[in-house]
Chain A
C-alpha cells in the first residue's frame, strides 16, 4: 500500500495542480485574442499584459510541480 501511495502522490499532485492553471491560461489567452481582434493596433500592449498574466498563472502550476518533485526526490 505504501508503494502505491509513493508512486501516486507526486503524480496526482502535479496532475491536479496543473488543471486549474491550464484552464486559467486558456481563458486569459482567449480574452486577449478577443481584445486583439477588436483592436489590432493595441496588440503589443495586450500581448505584454497577457504574457505577464500568463506567467503569474503558470507560477501556480510550477508550485505544484515543485511540491511533486520534492515528494518524489526528498
Chain B
C-alpha cells in the first residue's frame, strides 16, 4: 500500500533547511517557466508565428477576462501582472502533479517529486502573497488611512463591528485560499492513488481528466478571487 502523507516528505537536508519533494518539483516547474518566458521574449515580432502565437492568444484571453472583471483597462493593466502570474504559476503547478513519474519515482522509499500545490506550505505562501498584495494595493491606491478605515471605523458602533469582522475576514481569506487549493489538489492526488490501486488499467483515465479540469478551475478561481478582492480594496469607499 503506497504511503499517502499529508505533509510533503523531506528528501534532502542542507544544514537546517530541508528540501521536500514538492519544493523540488516547484523549482523545476519555475525553471521551465522562466526558460519558456525568455525564449518567447526573443520571438516578439509584428507577425507572430507558431508557439509564440499560441502564447499570445493565452495572454490575450487572460487579459480580456481580467479586464471584464476589473471593469477598466487601466485597472486591468495594473493588476494583470500579479493575476496573470498567479494563474499561470498555479496552473502549471497543479498540472505538474499529473505528469507520469511524479509520485512514483522514489528515492530512499520516498517519492522524489510531488505536486507543489499539494503541499500546504506552498498554498499558504500563495494565499499570503494574495492577501498581502490586496493590502499593498489598497494602501498604494487609496492611502494608508483610507485603507485602515475599512477595518477600524469609529463613526458608529455598527460600522466598528463591521470593520472588525472585515479584519477577521482577512485572516479567514488566508485560510480559505490555502485550504481550497490544497484540499482540491491533494484530494485529487489521493483519488488517483486509490484509483491506481483499485483498477490500474483504464479506470484512472477519467479521473486524470477530472484532475486536469480541477487544476484549471482552481487556478482560475484563485486568480479571479484575488482580482475581486483587489478590486474591492482599491474601490472608493461608498458608505461614508
Q: How far is the CA of A52 from the CA of B224 in the complex (A)?
A: 7
Q: How far is the CA of A24 from the CA of B109 in the complex (A)?
A: 43
| Minimal Cβ-Cβ distance residue in A for B220 | A51
Answer whether residue B44 sits at the interface, using C-beta atoms and an 8 A cutoff.
Answer: no
Neighbour of B179 across the interface among A48, A59, A74, CB < 8 A: A59
Interface residues of B in 203-240 (CB under 8 A from A): 217, 220-221, 224-225, 228
Interface majority SS (helix, strand, loop, mixed), chain B: helix
Interface residues of A in 28-43 (CB under 8 A from B): none
Answer whether residue B182 sits at the interface, using C-beta atoms and an 8 A cutoff.
Answer: yes
Number of interface residues of A (CB under 8 A): 17
Q: Are B224 and A69 in contact (CB under 8 A)?
A: no
Flag the segment in B55-63, B84-92, B135-143, B184-192 that touches A.
B184-192
Answer whether residue A70 sits at the interface, using C-beta atoms and an 8 A cutoff.
Answer: yes
Q: Are B176 and A59 in contact (CB under 8 A)?
A: yes
Interface residues of B in 175-204 (CB under 8 A from A): 176, 179-180, 182-184, 186-187, 190
Interface majority SS (helix, strand, loop, mixed), chain A: helix
Q: A50-66 toward B: CB 8 Å interface, digit per residue (1/0)?
A: 01100110110011011
Q: How far is the CA of A70 from the CA of B6 in the complex (A)?
A: 7
Residues of B at the A interface (CB closer than 8 Å) are: 4-6, 68-69, 176, 179-180, 182-184, 186-187, 190, 217, 220-221, 224-225, 228
What 10 pairs between A and B have smallest CB-CB spacing? A62-B183, A55-B221, A59-B180, A66-B183, A73-B6, A65-B183, A59-B176, A62-B180, A65-B187, A66-B179
Residues of A at the B interface (CB closer than 8 Å) are: 44-45, 48, 51-52, 55-56, 58-59, 62-63, 65-66, 69-70, 73-74
